Amino acid sequence: MNTLAAILWKDLVSEWRSRDRVVAMGLFAFLVVVVLRFALPGTDPAEVRRLAPGLLWVAYVFAALLGLNRAFALELENDALAGLALAPADRGWVFLGKAAANFVLLAVVQAATAIVFGVAFALDLWPVAGRLALVVALGSLGICAVGTLFSAVAVRTRYREVMLPLLLLPLLMPVLLGAVAATAALVADGVLPFPPIQLLLVTDATFLIVSFVGFEYVLDE
């Protein structure tokens, strides 16, 4: 538990001092929103309501990929990853600390992106903000779990910026399926149906267990 807090604190402090990951992710997500808006010119409000949930999650996933790619970049310098691996602590907690840091950074970016998205597509998300935040948190949990695991893998391969999306995107489909369905219901009728939430909970649990156990094997020595 102390390990988790220490890793989380370390990542957040170093991010606070540079703020480069959050700024890069946020800017990228805004650009994706703008690109999507220009790719769908002259859409009427009903059409926007139908498409918005999927588009929002496209922006979220791209921003997450960008951020996750850098999650272990700092640890590569001065071989700090070896230090993490050799630390006399359970690697599962190290993993949870890294994943929690990614989750926090992603949440900041997601909140800002939702506001920009609402403005760009003239969509009032405010009445469902609380429940939307719950859905987004559940989706991000799954993304950050497998994302952190395979970020640690991809960072030590050639073409690592390409490798992470190739590894991650097929695995993320169950999360996206649930998250988009839940968001769509929220945007359309303002109600949160249980089946997509159930799917999100089940996939989150699977992802967390797989990543918690798998992390043990992806650090060297």
Binding other proteins (rule: CB under 8 A), the pick from 25, 150, 179, 183 is 150
Regarding 153 and contact with other proteins (CB under 8 A), the answer is yes
Minimum Å gap between C-beta 149 and other proteins is 7
Give the relative orientation of helices 20-39 and 91-120 as an angle to the nearest 10 degrees: 40
DSSP string across 44-104: -HHHHHHHHHHHHHHHHHHHHHHHHHTTTHHHHGGGHHHHHHHSSS-HHHHHHHHHHHHHH
Applying CB under 8 A, what is the total number of residues that bind other proteins? 25
Output 153 or 182, the one with its CB closest to other proteins. Answer: 153
Cα–Cα dist 99/97, whole Å: 5
Regarding 217 and contact with other proteins (CB under 8 A), the answer is yes
Minimum Å gap between C-beta 145 and other proteins is 10
Residue whose entry in the numeric block shows the structure tokens 């779990």: 145
Q: Could you tell me which residues come within 8 angstroms of residue 13 by beta carbon, excluding any fewer than 6 positions away?
A: none
Regarding 198 and contact with other proteins (CB under 8 A), the answer is no
Going residue by residue from 104 to 143, which x/- string records binding to other proteins, judged by CB under 8 A?
----------------------------------------
Cα–Cα dist 125/209, whole Å: 33
The piece of 21-29, 73-81, 115-123, 147-155 that touches other proteins (CB under 8 A) is 147-155
Binding other proteins (rule: CB under 8 A), the pick from 157, 188, 198, 205 is 157
